[in-house]
Structure 1
Amino acid sequence: MKKSAVRERILKVASRLFYEQGYNLTGINQIIEEADIARASLYNHFDSKTDLLLAYLKEAEDVWYKEMEEFTANFFDPKHKLLALFDFRMERQNKRGFGGCQFIKISAEVSRQDLVVFDAVSHQKSRLKFFIDSIVGNLPQNNQVLSHTMLSDALFFLLEGATVSGSIYKNQESMLAAKAIAEKLLQDSFPQPAIKI
Structure 2
Amino acid sequence: MAAAKGAGTKKPGRARRKNRPSPRERLLASATSLFTTEGIRVIGIDRILREADVAKASLYSLFGSKDALVIAYLEALDQCWRNDWQERVAELADPEEKILAFFSKAIEDEPEKDFRGSHFQNAASEYPRPETDSERGIIAAALTHRQWMHETMTALLTEKNGYPSESLASQLLIFLDGGLAGAKLTHDIAPLLTARDLAKQLLGAPPADYAI
TM-score band w.r.t. shorter chain: 0.7 to 0.9
Spell out, residue by residue over 1:140-190, the C-alpha distance to the aligned partner (whole angstroms, 9 max, x if none): 34x9xxx72322111111111111111111111011111111111111235
Which residue among 111, 114, 130 is the counterpart of 1:112?
130
Spell out, residue by residue over 1:35-83, the C-alpha distance to the aligned partner (whole angstroms, 9 max, x if none): 1222222222221111111110111111111111111222211222222
Structure 2 stretches lacking a partner, 5+ long: 1-20
**For the Cα contact (< 8 Å) 2:92–2:98, is it kept in 1?**
yes
For 2:161 and 2:72, locate their aligned partners in 1 and report how far apart those are by CA, in whole Å.
40
For 2:161 and 2:45, locate their aligned partners in 1 and report how far apart those are by CA, in whole Å.
52
The alignment's TM-score, normalised by the length of structure 1, stands at: 0.87
Structure 1 window deviating more from structure 2 (108-117 vs 129-138): it is 108-117
Question: Hey, what does 2:43 align to over in structure 1?
Answer: 26
SS at match of 1:138: helix
Aligned-CA RMSD value: 1.8
Question: Is the counterpart of residue 139 in structure 1 residue 160 in structure 2?
Answer: yes
Question: Hey, what does 1:157 align to over in structure 2?
Answer: 174
Higher helix share: 2
For 1:164 and 1:40, locate their aligned partners in 2 and report how far apart those are by CA, in whole Å.
38
Question: Hey, what does 2:188 align to over in structure 1?
Answer: 171
Question: Is the counterpart of residue 66 in structure 1 residue 99 in structure 2?
Answer: no
Amino acid at match of 1:51: A
Question: Hey, what does 2:104 align to over in structure 1?
Answer: 87
For 2:74 and 2:173, locate their aligned partners in 1 and report how far apart those are by CA, in whole Å.
20
Question: Hey, what does 1:121 align to over in structure 2?
Answer: 142
Question: Is the counterpart of residue 189 in structure 1 residue 189 in structure 2?
Answer: no
**For the Cα contact (< 8 Å) 1:72–1:85, is it kept in 2?**
no
**For the Cα contact (< 8 Å) 1:166–1:172, is it kept in 2?**
yes
Question: Is the counterpart of residue 53 in structure 1 residue 75 in structure 2?
Answer: no
Amino acid at match of 2:136: L
* Stretches of 4+ aligned residues off by more than 3 angstroms: none
Higher Rg:
2
The alignment's TM-score, normalised by the length of structure 2, stands at: 0.81
Which residue among 77, 100, 104 is the counterpart of 2:94?
77
After superposition, the Cα gap between the structure-2 partners of 1:18 and 1:153, relative to the gap in structure 1 and judged at 3 Å, is same
**For the Cα contact (< 8 Å) 2:95–2:156, is it kept in 1?**
yes
Query: Percent identity, aligned pairs only?
Result: 27
**For the Cα contact (< 8 Å) 2:85–2:101, is it kept in 1?**
no
For 1:162 and 1:85, locate their aligned partners in 2 and report how far apart those are by CA, in whole Å.
12
